[in-house]
Amino acid sequence: MSAATGPVTDKIDPFSKKQSVKKPKQKRSQASSRYKAKGGTELVPLPQLKDAPPAEQHELFIKKLQQCSVVFDFMDSVSDLKGKEIKRASLNELVDYITAGRGVLTEQVYPEVVKMIASNIFRTLPPSENTEFDPEEDDPTLEASWPHLQIVYEFFLRFLESPDFQPSIAKKYIDQKFVLQLLELFDSEDPRERDFLKTVLHRIYGKFLGLRAFIRKQINHIFLKFIYETEHFNGVGELLEILGSIINGFALPLKAEHKQFLIKVLIPLHKAKSLSLYHAQLAYCVVQFLEKDATLTEPVVRGLLKFWPKTCSQKEVMFLGEIEEILDVIEPSQFVRIQEPLFKQISKCVSSPHFQVAERALYFWNNEYVMSLIEENSNVIMPIMFPNLYRISKEHWNQTIVALVYNVLKTFMEMNSKLFDELTANYKAERQKERKKEKEREELWKKLDGLEINATVNNKEVKSVPPTSTNTPVAGASPAVGTRYAPYSPTAHRLMAK
């Protein structure tokens, strides 16, 4: 091997060839984790329901339900093809039978129906193929047994929606335990399954009054686990969608339980990393609550401000969108209560170096209702907004933002020209005052630090206190002290040398 010769120069280019390492993406499907699924039951085709004499149909119906309770291995796509086909045909027949037939849902049928559904859909969800699964980037893993599962769900829906369906009988079988297992399935990676589940759960919530409180409580638990423990649950969006319509139906005045749900569950849901996946549904729920009861505005807005994103600009844009939705329905009396903290935040957003954030915040001024609220309270809002707007109008890097800021300043001028002139005149003085205050703070802390050093030297008793003062310099310390130059690195600028 002649290492030193030959056209190796190209090979060594550090920027080529990286791409080739990555595996081509392939669409995957996945089997459910069914523990020791029993095999060996061979399906024997039964006669068609429509061919059977009416007297025998009922019995045949039950037989078919039992037949469809057998579960097949879909990871092995060639095994037992005959059986799979028999089951598929039976399932389709069952769907037709309960859709078209009247009086077929007798009391004896209920346990068999629920058993068939349960044995097909309830299973421990398999471990995720992709541990760093990013729902926005990656394709979801699809359920392998979907050809059967889809018809089972279809059947379930027809069953619940049948005019013959009697919740009073069904509640013996569709009980709390059943619902719990159903909720568990919302974590399925397959969006098709979650979509069915959404409709199914909605129907159950509608028809089984006795289960409503229980369902709400369990959804609470799922959300809380998602927020505080795992940050992972695929079905948050679907559950929120159901809740949206549930909230819509809440009676007034709202029960304490519902208010607690809003403040302690829905608001913290804004924290999660994957907010973008369910933000639209979440914001809808929040606004639904506010339309029901305007007095909730203050805790909601304060809650959002508490969880305001610190670094994620994408989420910040979503928050701003939600705030505007809230402002659209806000009552002026509520607006007054939150305007100060809210506009302090908006003022920060307007001066964000990320232009999408700044732009989204500045768009508020295009909203007529919001404008009217600002105008009514201009004496409070203008002093909060003015310093940042004034500064940004001079130094933001993005010309669109600068133009928008000019417009906002113009509206302020038209709104209250006297206040505007005052603010402009005082701008410099205010900045100086701030700087002076800053200096005083620094002095104070310097003294305190000196004190601590003395105390640690003199006083043995407090020795155990860790000297935290050295960890973090006070923010905003004068640059002369704070700035240190990194040692010169001779290789840093060499990367491109050739």
Partner 1 sequence: MAASDSDDSLYPIAVLIDELRNEDVQLRLNSIKKLSTIALALGVERTRSELIPFLTDTIYDEDEVLLALAEQLGNFTPLVGGQEHVHCLLPPLESLATVEETVVRDKAVESLRKIAGDHSSADLEAHFVPLVKRLAQGDWFTSRTSACGLFSVPYPRVSSTVKAELRTNFRNLCGDDTPMVRRAAAGKMGEFAKVLELEYLKSDLIPLWTNLASDEQVQNDSVRLLAVEACVSIASILPPEDLETLVMPTLKNAAEDKSWRVRYMVADKFTELQMAVGPEITKKELVPAFQGLLKDCEAEVRAAAANKVKEFCENLPEDIREATIMTSILPCVKWSFSLQDLVSDANQHVKSALASVIMGLSPILGKDNTVEHLLPLFLLMLKDECAEVRLNIISNLDCVNQVIGIHQLSQSLLPAIVELAEDTKWRVRLAIIEYMPLLAGQLGVEFFDEKLNSLCMSWLVDHVYAIREAATNNLKKLVEKFGAEWAQSTILPKVVGMAQDPNYLHRMTTLFCINVLADVCGNETTMKVLLPVVVKLAADAVPNVRFNVAKTIQKIGSQFDATTINNQCKPCLEKLQSDQDYDVKYYAQEAMSVLCDAA
User: Which tokens is 178 given?
Assistant: 């059943």
Site for partner 1 in 31-50 (CB under 8 A): 33-36
Work out whether 12 is an interface residue with partner 1 (CB under 8 A): yes
How far lies 131's CA from each of 27, 30, 127, in Å? 16, 14, 8
Site for partner 1 in 138-167 (CB under 8 A): 144
Cα–Cα dist 197/200, whole Å: 5
Residue selected from 462, 478, 481, 482 as contacting partner 1 according to rule CB under 8 A:
462
Cα–Cα dist 245/168, whole Å: 24
The residue among 168 and 483 lying less far from partner 1, judged by its C-beta, is 483
DSSP, collapsed to helix, strand or coil, labels residue 311 as coil
Site for partner 1 in 194-223 (CB under 8 A): 218, 221-222
Using the rule CB under 8 A, give the single segment among 151-159, 244-252, 440-448, 478-486 that binds partner 1. 440-448
User: Which tokens is 243 given?
Assistant: 């809740």
The residue among 331 and 443 lying less far from partner 1, judged by its C-beta, is 443
Work out whether 129 is an interface residue with partner 1 (CB under 8 A): yes
Work out whether 491 is an interface residue with partner 1 (CB under 8 A): yes
Geometric angle at alpha carbon 306, from 303 and 312, rounded to 5°: 120
* Contacts (Cβ under 8 Å, ≥6 apart) of 400: 355, 359
Work out whether 448 is an interface residue with partner 1 (CB under 8 A): yes
Using the rule CB under 8 A, give the single segment among 85-93, 121-129, 312-320, 412-420 that binds partner 1. 121-129
User: Which tokens is 485 given?
Assistant: 């130059």
The residue among 191 and 341 lying less far from partner 1, judged by its C-beta, is 341
Using the rule CB under 8 A, give the single segment among 29-37, 155-163, 247-255, 416-424 that binds partner 1. 29-37
Q: Where are the alpha helices (DSSP H) in 37-134?
A: 54-67, 81-100, 109-121
Residue selected from 394, 468, 486, 487 as contacting partner 1 according to rule CB under 8 A:
468
Work out whether 447 is an interface residue with partner 1 (CB under 8 A): yes
Work out whether 433 is an interface residue with partner 1 (CB under 8 A): no
Min CB(57)–partner 1 separation in Å = 35
Using the rule CB under 8 A, give the single segment among 57-65, 163-171, 382-390, 442-450 that binds partner 1. 442-450
Nearest residue to 195 (alpha-carbon basis) of 157, 221, 232: 157
Work out whether 75 is an interface residue with partner 1 (CB under 8 A): yes
Number of residues forming the site for partner 1 (CB under 8 A): 72
Site for partner 1 in 287-346 (CB under 8 A): 306
Cα–Cα dist 58/107, whole Å: 11
Strands (E), 84-242: 142-143
Work out whether 455 is an interface residue with partner 1 (CB under 8 A): yes
Q: Which residues pair with residue 403 across a beta bridge?
A: none
Min CB(7)–partner 1 separation in Å = 9
Min CB(21)–partner 1 separation in Å = 5
Work out whether 397 is an interface residue with partner 1 (CB under 8 A): no
Cα–Cα dist 426/376, whole Å: 23
Residue type, 371: M
Cα–Cα dist 354/412, whole Å: 24
Site for partner 1 in 256-285 (CB under 8 A): 264, 268
The owner of tokens 């209920």 is: 110
User: Which tokens is 297 given?
Assistant: 């505005």
